[in-house]
Amino acid sequence: MGAPTLAVFKLASCDGCQLTLLDCEDELLGLAGQMEITHFLEASSAVRPGPYDLTLVEGSVTTPADAERIREIRAASRHLVTIGACATAGGIQALRNFADVEEFTRTVYARPDYIDTLATSTPVSAHVDVDFELRGCPVDRRQLLEVITAYLAGRRPDIPDNSVCFECKRRGTVCVTVAHGTPCLGPVTHAGCGAICPAYGRGCYGCFGPSGSVNLPALIPVLHRDGMDDRDTERFLHTFNTAAFEEESRR
Amino acid sequence: MTHRGSRVLHVGSLSRVEGEGALHLSVHDGTVTRAQLRIYEPPRFFEAFLRGRSYAEPPDITARVCGICPVAYQLSACAAIENACGITVDPALRVLRRLLYCGEWIESQTLHIYLLHAPDFLGCDSAIELARTARGHVERGLRLKQAGNAILELLGGRAIHPVNVRIGGFHRVPTVAELRPLAGQLERALDDAWQTVEWVSGFEFPDAEVDADLFALAEPETYAIETGTPAVLRADSDTPNLFPLHTFLDRVREEHLPHSTALHATLDGRRHLTGSLARFAISGRWLSRTAVRAARAAGLGDPRAGVFSRNPYRSILVRAVEVVYAVDEALRIIRAYERPRRPYTEVPATAGTGHGATEAPRGLLYHRYVLDAEGTVTDARLVPPTAQNQGAIEDDLRRTAQRAITQSDIEDEELTRLCERAIRNHDPCISCSTHFLDLTVDRT
């Protein structure tokens, strides 16, 4: 039996999550020795048809063609992992889910009649079964390696779903909300980045989406106390994981 | 299959570019009548999302246009918003922005050289395949790229979508002690960058020339990266003409064509090219001494004497020289670094319109914002380099394909490979504007 095959696909996205794989400078060649990369357009012109053992998908479903394409990708994949906020929660593109997309099209494109788009940006899991979802805008390199290594070892990835607050404590960062009254989504945001924003003196802006156990209503008064009005709060929650936080706020 | 008067050729997706797209070639009686770079971007509506947002938000939001050049988006957004508010940022902070941008240049240009472009010259499908026979070269490329990422991670928090950029400067500025250790890594990177120049200068470069106008920022006395004035070098002239940034949208016009969701741009109604070749032509005379030596070693002649290249295949040489420059410049900034007193200059909200442009690794990136008195964005325009280059890329494709068809009985597979190369020479960042690219050639 040959090495397991790896495929990387993208839908509507910025390429950042698949770039994370190429940013694994120390591990890339080792990984290429353990897996056979059979479809990764950004990295290689050699493309082979599926089935693929492990498929990573970046990006959200925003066009009728991509809704079809993701079904084909699923059918060709033994194990499908979505990487990043777009693929797991619709990403920043999901802002259109709460807006008039026709008006958006008229604003951005001179000839809206040339544009074929869906009124929504949805995660891959809204269309097909997904074996594992890795959060982040972008995903974290260490977590991505953990997902791939876990696959190779035949185990579940060890990706805790606690909040960014845990990572701040571990990093020894003083709480920006407690110490400086800085609005921060850390208490409700999924860990994974290593709590970068508070370490750089700003509040977490939620790019990893909601954590496993979220009490969003409890955070809103704290944001108000720290100077955010309703509109600021709404924008704060509605950016890179807009659909996921929207779902949480309805719970 | 060999040359015929009429045939249709269809290939899947273009590889080793940022993003995905297609190419359509029509050939009638041995003449290429149409060469289209098709950008099937699922529309991403960033300009619409930005409306109603606070003026503090575009740096974080527009970073998400492109994971390959987020700093370019962040710093063009900052420049435009600061311009709208009438603020000039503290020079010590501007230097740190340049350092951050050097990190992106090193990372992104090295990615292009080693992982996307070099395999074309060496007959490989990927750098991973190349590593089987020339592992040392690929390892050097990855190490060099890592040095760029190290700057981004230290100064920006992370390499993709850095979190530390804000209008007016940074959320937090590093201490001298935090920044200094980067110098050791960059000294090694300077060796790697030099060896990159030597390596790529040994490649074979087919003869070719782009006849588009060259377009880049100019900042006299320095190689323009994070700031500058738009400068055009016409195909029939030796002297660049500068024009004020606020007239950008009067000069660079975008048109929406049915075959592409990326907008097509022209400059004064003419085809133009941004990116490494254009920058080297316009700013080459202000390269550092080390980078000038690298340019000579690369066979590009003396940029201080106004020598430059219009051969798109040689763009990989210019990129390699730009990496030497960016490493050298980053070292210079780190060695002279003193921590600024404040991490950012205050930018109070003001009603107004602001323009900002910087040199993304693959070309000039322009932003314009209209703000109301509360600092809410009421209108936004982003003009990425690839949309500007699309016309020049298509022209280059047409000529490449025509030459190949005229000179030989070229087979479909070889013609496809040639066309893909012609596109990769221009390092298109399709994700900035696009997505699905597949090659179709109809011959009738």
pLDDT tens-digit readout, B142-191: 999 999 999 999 999 999 999 999 999 999 999 999 999 999 999 999 99
For chain B, positions 108-137, list CB contacts with chain A under 8 A. Answer: 111, 115-116, 119, 125-129, 131, 135
Nearest Cα residue to B260 out of B410, B389, B357: B389
Residues A101 and A221 in one domain: no
> Residue B237: what pLDDT?
86
Residue B256 has pLDDT above 80, yes or no: no
Residue B4 has pLDDT above 80, yes or no: no
CB contact under 8 A, A32 and B131: yes
CB contact under 8 A, B256 and A199: no
Looking at the domain assignment, is residue A240 inside a domain? yes
Q: Is B124 annotated as a binding residue?
A: no
Whether A3 contacts chain B with CB within 8 A? no
Residues A55 and A173 in one domain: no
- Integer angstrom CA distances of residue B379 from B84, B101, B253: 12, 26, 17
Query: CA B438 to CA B433: how far, in whole Å?
Result: 16
The pLDDT-based confidence of A28 (bands split at 50, 70, 90) is very high
Note the pLDDT tens digit of each residue in B220-236: 999 999 999 999 999 88
Residue B113 has pLDDT above 50, yes or no: yes
Residues A148 and A193 in one domain: no
Lowest mean pLDDT among A51-60, A84-93, B127-136, B434-443: B434-443
Q: What is the pTM of this model?
A: 0.95
Q: Where does a domain end: A101, A132, A153?
A: A153
The pLDDT-based confidence of B436 (bands split at 50, 70, 90) is very low
> Residue B102: what pLDDT?
98
Mean pLDDT of chain B: 91
Residue A222 has pLDDT above 70, yes or no: yes
The pLDDT-based confidence of B38 (bands split at 50, 70, 90) is confident
> Residue B437: what pLDDT?
28
Question: How many domains are contained in chain A?
Answer: 2
**Chain A nearest CA to B240, separation (Å):** 31
> Residue B2: what pLDDT?
43
CB contact under 8 A, B64 and A137: yes
Domain with A54, as residue range(s), is 5-153
Looking at the domain assignment, is residue A158 inside a domain? no
Residues A168 and A242 in one domain: yes
Note the pLDDT tens digit of each residue in B378-406: 999 999 998 899 889 989 989 999 999 88
Note the pLDDT tens digit of each residue in A99-155: 877 777 777 666 666 667 888 999 999 999 999 999 999 999 999 999 999 999 999
Nearest CA in chain A to B16: A42
What are the structural domains of chain B? 46-388 (1.10.645.10)
> Residue A223: what pLDDT?
96
Residues A185 and A127 in one domain: no
> Residue A112: what pLDDT?
66
Q: Where does a domain end: A132, A153, A174?
A: A153
> Residue A184: what pLDDT?
97
Per-residue pLDDT, averaged over B340-355, amounts to 98
Per-residue pLDDT, averaged over A9-19, amounts to 95
> Residue B262: what pLDDT?
58
> Residue A228: what pLDDT?
95
Residues A26 and A117 in one domain: yes
